[in-house]
Amino acid sequence: MKAAVVLTPGEIAIEEVPDPAPGPAEVVVKPAAVGICGTDLHIMDGEFAPAYPIVPGHELAGEIVAVGSAVVGYAVGDQVAVDPSLYCGYCYYCKRARGNQCENWGAIGVTVAGAAAEYVAAPMANLFRLPEHLPARDAALIEPLSCAVRGFDVLPRHLASSYLIYGSGTMGLMMLELAKRAGAESVSMVDLNPERLATAVRLGCSAAVASAGELVAPRGFDVVIDCTGAEAAIRDGLSRVGRGGTFLQFGVAGYDARVAIEPYEIYRREITITGSMAVLHSFERAGELMAAGVLDPSIFVSHRRPLTSYAAALDQFRQGVGRKILIEP
Ligand SMILES: NC(=O)c1ccc[n+]([C@@H]2O[C@H](COP(=O)([O-])OP(=O)(O)OC[C@H]3O[C@@H](n4cnc5c(N)ncnc54)[C@H](O)[C@@H]3O)[C@@H](O)[C@H]2O)c1
Ligand SMILES: [Zn+2]
Ligand SMILES: [Zn+2]
């Protein structure tokens, strides 16, 4: 089969590689679509993936084309989305229901061959069956949505909270959609890119600004979410958390990023600073939200490209052009 292969950091090519065969409790999926995100850039830049060469692609949905001998409940032809998370199940954190902190953490498209290929193998346990009305080519959005759902799982839930979200890319926009449904009183969006803000406006945010200083919010915000990973945004966001409020670090900052905190203010204003990493028992619920129409794929997906354009699509994502780019292998 053909696959996009990151040969070494910085070097990617479309290559002929052996077709995957399903293990006993695995299926082989023909991806209808695979999304590109920051993780793929990290892999391209020599971070995250423990070994090269690696086929990237962890945001995927498609059709089952082969099933292993022990697979029950799924058959060739079924349409599924795939949770890429591979938890060991036996380490300290897995035993405590924190699989995303697994000491032997792995993921399809990061530590084992991913979906930027004509076929990909996946454990039966990781499948979400798509309802008939949800096309697999749109269901690649379930994986990033499942990360956003995990983010919401670590937030307090109070009706009428004010939200401030930094970053109006795919993830910030998903947070906006979830906050609207979580009973937000207001959702303000900050981004340096006016095109990205225009999408937030289209999705009904309360305010869309290039700098949070433009917002009138004397009490700050109940929930501040960083969906940029940018030091400047994180620093600014921490200063805008209101009394009793929560700051969620969702964006992936550089290893060397540093921001100062004010311990006195954290004490005085009872501020919570928390983080969320990838998927934790949130894939099934994201699938259900997607099936319920929480995300409009015609707004979230800006480009659909063939596998041969994988490298170009990575570059385009790096430049911040468009929104979610899907590869259709
Ligand atoms: N925690 C998780 O589970 C998880 C999952 C997926 C992605 N992420 C991370 O979330 C972040 C957002 O992902 P995405 O796919 O939406 O990325 P993206 O690059 O499409 O969007 C990021 C947005 O932030 C904006 N931005 C950058 N610097 C800014 C600043 N100083 N102030 C305001 N806006 C700024 C950019 O213009 C861009 O629109 C990334 O860091 C990504 O790695 C985390
Ligand atoms: Zn991703
Ligand atoms: Zn584990």
Q: pLDDT tens for residues 14-48? A: 999 999 999 999 999 999 999 999 999 999 999 88
Residues 6+ apart with CB under 8 A from 215: 164, 188, 207, 209
Position 182 scores a pLDDT of 96
Position 32 scores a pLDDT of 98
Position 38 scores a pLDDT of 94
Residue 67 has pLDDT above 90, yes or no: yes
SS3 state of residue 74: coil
Other Cβ atoms less than 10 A from the Cβ of 281: the count is 15
Q: Write phi, then psi, for 73 (nearest 5 degrees).
A: 85, -10
Q: Which ligand 1 atom minimizes the distance to the CA of 39?
A: 43
CA distance linking residue 82 with residue 48, whole number of Å: 20
Containing H/E element for 264? helix 263-268
Task: Taking residues 110-138, report their average pLDDT.
Answer: 98
Pocket test for ligand 1, best of 252, 255, 326 (most atoms within 8 A of CB): 252
Confidence at 204, pLDDT banded by 50, 70, 90? very high
Q: How far is the CA of 128 from the centre of ligand 3 (A)?
A: 21
pLDDT, tens digit (0-9, with 9 covering 90-100), for 283-316: 999 999 999 999 999 999 999 999 999 999 999 9
Task: Taking residues 92-100, report their average pLDDT.
Answer: 97
Position 206 scores a pLDDT of 98
SS3 state of residue 243: strand
Nearest to 242 by CA among 164, 177, 150: 164
CA distance linking residue 107 with residue 132, whole number of Å: 27
For each of the domains in the chain, give its residue range(s) and CATH number, in order of start: 2-146+279-328 (3.90.180.10), 155-275 (3.40.50.720)
CA distance linking residue 164 with residue 177, whole number of Å: 13
How much is the CA Rg of the chain, to the nearest whole Å? 20
pLDDT, tens digit (0-9, with 9 covering 90-100), for 252-287: 998 899 999 999 999 999 999 999 999 999 999 999
Residue 144 has pLDDT above 90, yes or no: yes
Position 49 scores a pLDDT of 87
Pocket test for ligand 1, best of 37, 48, 248 (most atoms within 8 A of CB): 37
Mean pLDDT for the chain overall: 97
Q: Give all strands of the β-sheet with 162-166 in edge-to-edge order.
A: 207-209, 186-190, 162-166, 221-226, 241-249, 272-275
| Rounded percentage of the chain residues whose pLDDT exceeds 90 | 98
Position 48 scores a pLDDT of 87
